[in-house]
Amino acid sequence: MAITLVIHGGAGNIHPGMMTKEQEVEYHNGLKLALDKGYDVLNNGGAAVDAVVAAIVELENNPIFNAGRGSVFTKKGLNEMDAAIMNGIDLSAGAVAGVRNIRNPIRLAKEVMLHSGHVFLSGAGAGEFALTRGIEMAPDDYFFNKGRYDQWVKIRDSDFTQLDHEEDNLKGPEPDPEYKFGTVGAAACDAHGNLAAGTSTGGMTNKRFGRIGDSPVIGAGTYANNNTCGISCTGHGEFFLRAVVAHDVSCLMEYKGLNLQQACATVVKDKLVKMKGEGGLIAVDAQGNYDFCFNSAGMYRAVRNNEGLERIAFYGE
Amino acid sequence: MAITLVIHGGAGNIHPGMMTKEQEVEYHNGLKLALDKGYDVLNNGGAAVDAVVAAIVELENNPIFNAGRGSVFTKKGLNEMDAAIMNGIDLSAGAVAGVRNIRNPIRLAKEVMLHSGHVFLSGAGAGEFALTRGIEMAPDDYFFNKGRYDQWVKIRDSDFTQLDHEEDNLKGPEPDPEYKFGTVGAAACDAHGNLAAGTSTGGMTNKRFGRIGDSPVIGAGTYANNNTCGISCTGHGEFFLRAVVAHDVSCLMEYKGLNLQQACATVVKDKLVKMKGEGGLIAVDAQGNYDFCFNSAGMYRAVRNNEGLERIAFYGE
């Protein structure tokens, strides 16, 4: 059986020349570590859902990605994170929105899936659930990052939001063309042909109003179904929510008979482009096929399978 | 052109003999008032999205329905409400989760759609947005209802949740067979063939952990697309989230060529039944066709169109 893992670390205006060689190495190594951690699970006969968690935990622990430890600051100077996971075997799913001080939000999402009796928990309530389940917490210091903080300080007195860390700025006083949509995700096909997908994000810098994007919304930013595909999205979440992106890819396969690549292209390169919804997604199907699909300049992405394929890329082809 | 409005006030084990004649009259009148308010908008050439808001506002204002004024109590003795609206013309959408002291959450959802730059706001942040937009607030007293309070007091020291007001009890110490899934919703087709749908709920009695159900999730409990249908769901939200119910109906029409009734039946009477996901939905398409579809014993529901049809029903056919 084919085993395949795909991961992403966000999409956006990521193009040659925007990073120093050192930064490129840092992103490469960050993706490589997460890819290997997740792939090891699959290679040892583990479940797709566990490979997805293992890969995302590494991305959450790496401060260069906007998720977990590297989460950006909200309008109030807090780190509020969202995450979701879905198991394609039985369509079970778990998601959290607006959680604070959770070291690995993807682990909390899995706990919601397995032990809450619910699918979607939010805010302080989700934090309470985390305490009842012994989920690992971390102090504010753990999430503090000078770069992210300075980025927030620059815009905190404005109503502008940034869609990612460092250079992003879709709606700022001086729009920065080097924006990225900061999110991480993984999708896997295991040796039993089971699919899973997960997504984790720190949201938008200076976000207000308890904004929830597509990442934790089952069907929008995250979806897995053994009959079709496993999908994790990254992009301008409002458009991904309205287009129900991940589930739309699945339905194009199930009801219209498109293959994985055709379905991804239809949604990302046609429908989303018409809506002006920028971003991308990673996808696997139960035959171990994979796809990277984005309408932005680039996407931090990586794939590894049991046919010897291993590829890490940032920029458009 | 056909104009059509459908509304619901929740589904569940609603069967002949469970209500007194007086209660039946109360539900009939409540549905009739909401139906007429919404229909008047359509009849005066108004937009589907405004008809949906007008109908849902009446249902939210009526304490017999679990939404707005009649919302149930959470574990902490609070009223936390969710709502969503979607406009089929351009797939614009707005949703709120876990809001307090908002007199009409559906109005806040519409404000999010039109004026927030976002789609989905939650908790205290959504309340802050409401203040910036001058949305009407209401004190706790406004939401206080002796029946709902007594129902909560009975189970507040347990971990059990109830899916609706009054008699509902899916997971209680003494399961009450007369449970209902308390939600209200509306879907409309206006004279221009534009579709819209909206949903509003007070959630589950004694709910914990900031639980979010399907109602405010675009694609799950609420969806509208002029190419296919407008849908509002009511049921055991966790299953509706995992099945991405409203968007699935739309995709079965768009990609598989099913008509409205076939698509609704496939999702509600086949897929959801196999998952043991109880509940139902109301639906319209751009030709003014409508459907009520539920796998529970009954659903509070009503329809009115410009061919003289007006029907209000509670029980299975």
Written as one letter, the residue type at B149 is Y
- Of residues A309 and A171, the one with the higher pLDDT is A309
The SS3 of residue B227 is coil
Interface residue A94 vs chain B (CB under 8 A): no
Residue B146 has pLDDT above 90, yes or no: no
Categorize the per-residue pLDDT at A159 as very low, low, confident or very high, splitting at 50, 70 and 90.
low
Q: Given CB atoms, is B125 within the 8 Å cutoff of chain A?
A: yes
| Residue whose tokens read 């007195």 | A157
Residue type, B158: S
pLDDT > 50? residue B167? no
Binned at pLDDT 50, 70 and 90, residue B203 comes out as confident
Q: Which two tokens stand for residue B201?
A: 């709920």
Report the share of chain B in percent with pLDDT over 70. Answer: 93
pLDDT of residue A162: 60
For A116, which of B97, B209, B241 is closest by C-beta distance?
B209
The token duo for A221 is 């930013």
Q: Given this model, what pLDDT does residue A151 score?
A: 77
User: Chain B interface, mutation test: which of A119, A229, A274, most B Cβ atoms within 10 Å?
Assistant: A119
Q: Distance, in angstroms, between B197 CA and closest chain A CA? A: 13
Tens-place pLDDT, residues B242-274: 999 999 999 999 999 999 999 999 999 999 999
Helix residue spans in A74-198 (DSSP H): 105-115, 123-132, 140-143, 146-155
User: In the predicted model, is pLDDT for residue B23 greater than 90?
Assistant: yes
Would you state the pLDDT for residue B163? 55
The enclosing H or E element of B93 equals: strand B92-99
Residue A168: pLDDT over 50: no
Closest C-alpha to A66, from A161, A135, A133: A161
Question: pLDDT category, A278, cuts 50, 70, 90?
Answer: very high
| Chain A residues whose beta carbon lies within 8 Å of the beta carbon of residue B275 | 91
User: Is residue A183 annotated as a catalytic residue, yes or no?
Assistant: yes
- A197-205 mean pLDDT: 91
Return phi, psi of residue B66, to 5°. Answer: -85, 80
Q: Taking CB atoms and an 8 Å cutoff, what residues of chain A touch B256?
A: 255-256
* Class of residue A156 by CB neighbours under 10 A (exposed 0-12, middle 13-18, buried 19+): middle
Give the predicted TM-score (pTM) of the model: 0.94
Structural element, H or E, at residue B85 = strand B81-87
Q: Which residue of B122, B242, B252 is in closest CB contact with A123? A: B122
Per residue in A42-86, pLDDT (tens digit) is: 999 999 999 999 999 999 999 999 999 988 877 777 889 999 999
Marked catalytic residue, from B161, B183, B199, B222: B183
Residue B124 C-alpha, separation from nearest chain A C-alpha, in angstroms? 7
> Is A277 an 8 Å CB contact of chain B?
no
Residue A243 has its nearest CB partner, among B91, B121, B252, at B91
pLDDT-derived band at B178 (thresholds 50, 70, 90) equals: low
